[in-house]
Structure 1
Amino acid sequence: MDNIILTKFFSFAVRIVNLYKYLCTDKKEFVLLKQLLRSGTSVEANVKEAINAQSRNDFLSK
């Protein structure tokens, strides 16, 4: 069973990585790229943690 939220956030993370690669190679923008990459790809990890929560309180804390 596919989770639509995970699917959307995975495609978002892929787009962020592609943007990161593009800006590094073509535009030589380095100032905020590492933070963009970290924040753009951490969303999926947070969603996975929340989905795998063992209780309601655990879900709310994640």
Structure 2
Amino acid sequence: MENRANPLLDKSYSFSLKIVNTCYTLQDNFREFVLSRQLLRSGTAVGALSEEAQQAESKADFIHKLSIANKEAHESHYWLRLIRDCGRFEIEVEDLIINCEELKRLLIAIIKSSKK
């Protein structure tokens, strides 16, 4: 069986890695644990749910798992904006916000095309 590139899995995994590093920076440099844990949970869930969707038992299950991944991406987007806008942390998250927006658009496109 041929191993094809999967943009969703690649982007969500890359996003998760960046989220992990950002959260540890928040914890180590700023002693921020509440926001970083929230972001760590939602940000890594996007990739985990996308991976899980690849083994879905049905089309409906696939759509459901990606819909949850989309919700987690929206939550991650919220936490990233909050971290950026609260003015308490000298940390650059703009690239992560852009990556998150791309993931949301990709997830929505896959969900819509899967429903057809």
TM-score range, shorter chain: 0.7 to 0.9
Residue in 1 that maps onto 2:50: 47
Aligned length: 62
Cα displacement (A) at 1:55? 1.8
Per-residue deviation at 1:34? Answer: 1.0
Alignment of 1:1-62 (within 5 A): 1-62=4-65
Task: Extract unaligned runs of 5+ from structure 1.
Answer: none
The residue matched to 1:32 in structure 2 has which SS? Answer: helix
TM-score by length of structure 1 reads 0.84
What's the RMSD between the two structures over aligned residues?
Answer: 1.3
Gaps of at least 5 residues in structure 2 are 66-116
Higher relative contact order (CA 8 A, sep 6+): 1
User: Displacement, 1:28?
Assistant: 1.4
Structure 1 consecutive aligned stretches of length 4 or more whose deviation exceeds 2 Å: none
Find the aligned partners of 1:31 and 1:40 in 2 and give their Cα distance. Answer: 14
Percent of aligned positions that are identical: 47
